């Protein structure tokens, strides 16, 4: 099964480089890496060029002009550029261990999408943290003892633990999500009416449910490590309303997604 990894980023070249370094040492490499760039400056382009030269798989840079938070649109552009049978979404500030891609593929299942879990790396540990830490039990234990990692219950890799299946919006995060290409095209991708932070991933999940998919979660596989960064994100009434409308409705195909009506 051909796998496309889509990494969303905006003006965080240092973090992006750490993330991709972890991808290039995976036990199962993705078949292509697509950088979904919401309008970063030349620093990110330079990182992508350097990554492309070092990578043994194709690396594509999909860029749009920055006009506020338009993650929905740039993810759609990356999805359209992808060629994989299975797509994995990852944010450009989320480092992973070497089993990340193989874990997602092991969890992949017909009529399901996979919602990965996330641990948080504290402000004091961000500068030094890398995939080397994510792949070292000793280093991770030291960080736990120093209080530099949250959600530590996800840190033990335990593949034989049973997956959890439900159709609840709680815990939806597009920073770590996997689905079949045909399923995301069936619902027309992300809703591009979301033009500010928040809920665009929950709204996609809502339409996945209406299409007939089930959320599949494993607490000890496909974990990402979110790097602390300053943020001033706040959800608007408009994004709340868009999600509420989707929850209340029955339509799984959005009008303003991968394809546009009119």
Query: pLDDT tens, 132-156?
Result: 999 999 999 999 999 999 988 888 8
Phi-psi region of 238 (alpha: psi -120 to 50; beta: other; left: phi over 0): alpha
**DSSP 8-state secondary structure symbol assigned to residue 33:** E
Burial 221-234 (b: 16+ CB within 10 A, else e): bbbbbbbbeeeeee
CB distance 213 to 262 below 8 Å: no
3 state SS of 13: helix
Model pLDDT for residues 47-69, shown as the tens digit of each residue: 999 999 989 999 999 999 999 88
Query: Which CATH architecture does the domain made up of 3-248 adopt?
Result: Alpha-Beta Complex (3.90)
Give the whole-angstrom CA distance, residue 189 versus residue 209.
13
Residue 195's pLDDT is 87
pTM flag (> 0.85): yes
Model pLDDT for residues 217-256, shown as the tens digit of each residue: 999 999 999 999 888 777 788 889 999 999 998 899 999 9
Nearest one of 39, 56, 51, 66 to 14, comparing CA atoms: 51
Rounded mean pLDDT, 2-20: 97
Q: Is the pLDDT of residue 184 over 90?
A: yes
């Amino acid at each position: 099964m051909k796998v496309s990894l889509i990494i969303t980023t905006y003006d965080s070249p240092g973090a992006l480089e750490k993330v991709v370094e972890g991808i290039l040492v995976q036990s199962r490499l993705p078949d292509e890496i697509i950088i979904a760039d919401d309008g970063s400056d030349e620093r990110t382009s330079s990182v992508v060029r350097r990554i492309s030269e070092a990578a043994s798989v194709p690396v594509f840079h999909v860029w749009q002009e920055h006009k506020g938070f338009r993650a929905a649109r740039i993810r759609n552009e990356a999805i359209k550029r992808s060629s994989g049978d299975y797509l994995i979404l990852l944010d450009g500030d989320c480092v992973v261990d070497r089993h990340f891609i193989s874990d997602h593929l092991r969890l992949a299942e017909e009529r399901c999408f996979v919602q990965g879990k996330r641990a948080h790396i504290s402000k004091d540990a961000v500068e030094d943290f890398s995939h080397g830490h994510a792949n070292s039990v000793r280093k991770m234990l030291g960080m736990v003892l120093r209080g530099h990692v949250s959600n530590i219950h996800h840190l033990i890799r335990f593949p034989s633990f049973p997956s959890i299946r439900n159709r609840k919006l709680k815990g939806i995060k597009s920073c770590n999500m996997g689905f079949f290409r045909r399923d995301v095209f069936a619902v027309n991708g992300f809703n591009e009416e979301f033009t500010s932070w928040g809920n665009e991933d929950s709204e996609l999940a809502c339409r996945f449910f209406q299409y007939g998919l089930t959320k599949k979660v494993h607490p000890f596989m496909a974990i990402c490590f979110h790097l602390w960064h300053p943020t001033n994100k706040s959800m608007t009434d408009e994004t709340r309303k868009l999600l509420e409308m989707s929850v209340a409705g029955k339509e799984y195909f959005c009008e303003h997604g991968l394809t546009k009506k009119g």
